[in-house]
Structure 1
Amino acid sequence: MINGETITINPDRMADLHNRLAAAAQRDGVLDVAYRVVDSPVGPLLLAATDQGLIRVAYAVEDHDAVLQQLADKVSPRVLQAPGRLDAVARELDEYFTRTRRTFDVQLDWRLAAGFRAAVLHHLPEIGYGQTASYAAVAALAGSPKAVRAVGTACAKNPLPVVVPCHRVVRSDGAMGGYLGGPEAKRLLLDLEAAA
């Protein structure tokens, strides 16, 4: 309401205005983190990217608003919904969920992972589609065979789940183990890959 009058805003016009704002922010170099939310078989996924690449994939259980705030705090406060900048990622995820893609080709921004955690995450794509590896095997791959718990922590804090396949890491006894997106999401991803 402005000056006692109710103002009706056309949703299409608002969407157009938002798209122009996002394009101008990108053009002027003031868009540091672009994001969008996509639907998937494991629920809505928040995708966020910088100029360096995909920086974050987040499940709804992580609270998308909290994830955006963390990105604003750790990367840049210049965060804006700019879906077009994430079209390639959304397309690759869709292809993955329809079993026509087995690996991801998008550029990744690894700055949210450091040290041993980063080493673990960099090795996860070596676990083939439809395969699993134990936490102990991943610890050995990362060069620290005794760091099994640290591998679990690295997987639990993976900023790029699905794309960096921490869901393929299971316990030595074959049990699934924990997963950032929850046990149902991990089971769905493993079953999806096993069925291909």
Structure 2
Amino acid sequence: MNRYLIVDTAFGYGAVAFSAEPFKLVATRLPASDLDELCRPFDEAYWRIDSNHPTALKIAAALVRYFNGESIEIPWPVMDLSRFTPSQQAVYRIVAKIPYGETASYGQVARLAGLPRAARFVGTTMANNAYPVLIPCHRVIKSDGSPGLFGGGEPLKARMLALENAF
């Protein structure tokens, strides 16, 4: 059964979505101010709130630390990338290597992932990122230095980059 944990961060409420047995991180959700809106997709899919799973609590604590201005480690062993194509996985792994406080353009990520001229593909892959913050899609910007689109909205992206002193 799928479960989720609400995370109260300095930027608002986020979530850690997971399957419990064996533990697999399904998704993270960016902070929002509306708790009902954050929970609605989980509730409509009959997911259960679980505020006690130790691994989920560790990931939640990492998200809290991130939104308090700290760099965090990516929990690769519990993230299931198998649902993504090899090209998407390559993009996610490159984006995960963008250091805290730095950015890369969509084109740079495409080249580093071995997908030259696939900047739009990188953008689409980032738009479908199930693990925002952990796979820091907010660090991917347009080639002109502007922030570009973001699932949590451009103001949140700019705020996260400012938190990291990257923008």
User: Which amino acid counterpart does residue 65 of structure 2 have in structure 1?
Assistant: E
Matched, 1:96 2:66: yes
CA separation in 2, counterparts of 1:164 and 1:67?
21
CA separation in 1, counterparts of 2:134 and 2:43?
19
CA separation in 2, counterparts of 1:99 and 1:63?
22
| Preserved contact between residue 55 and residue 111 of structure 1 (Cα < 8 Å) | no
CA separation in 1, counterparts of 2:120 and 2:15?
27
- 1:53 shift after superposition: 2.7
* Cα RMSD after superposing both structures: 2.3
CA separation in 1, counterparts of 2:120 and 2:61?
34
More helix per residue: 1
Query: With structure 2 as the length reference, what TM-score do the two structures score?
Result: 0.82
- Structure 1 residues 145, 42: closer, same or farther in 2, change over 3 A? farther
CA separation in 1, counterparts of 2:98 and 2:50?
32
- 1:94 shift after superposition: 1.4
Matched, 1:174 2:142: no
Counterpart position of 2:14? 45
Query: Which has the higher Rg, Structure 1 or Structure 2?
Result: 1
CA separation in 1, counterparts of 2:151 and 2:110?
19
Counterpart position of 2:27? 56
CA separation in 2, counterparts of 1:103 and 1:141?
21
Quick one: percent identity of the two aligned structures? 34
- Structure 1 residues 65, 114: closer, same or farther in 2, change over 3 A? farther
- Structure 1 residues 68, 58: closer, same or farther in 2, change over 3 A? farther
- Structure 1 residues 172, 114: closer, same or farther in 2, change over 3 A? same
- 1:64 shift after superposition: 3.6
- Structure 1 residues 87, 66: closer, same or farther in 2, change over 3 A? same
Structure 1's consecutive aligned runs of 4 or more residues displaced over 4 angstroms after TM superposition are 60-63
Query: With structure 1 as the length reference, what TM-score do the two structures score?
Result: 0.71
CA separation in 2, counterparts of 1:190 and 1:154?
19
SS class of match (1:137): helix
- Structure 1 residues 120, 64: closer, same or farther in 2, change over 3 A? farther
Q: Is 99-108 or 117-126 further displaced after alignment? A: 99-108
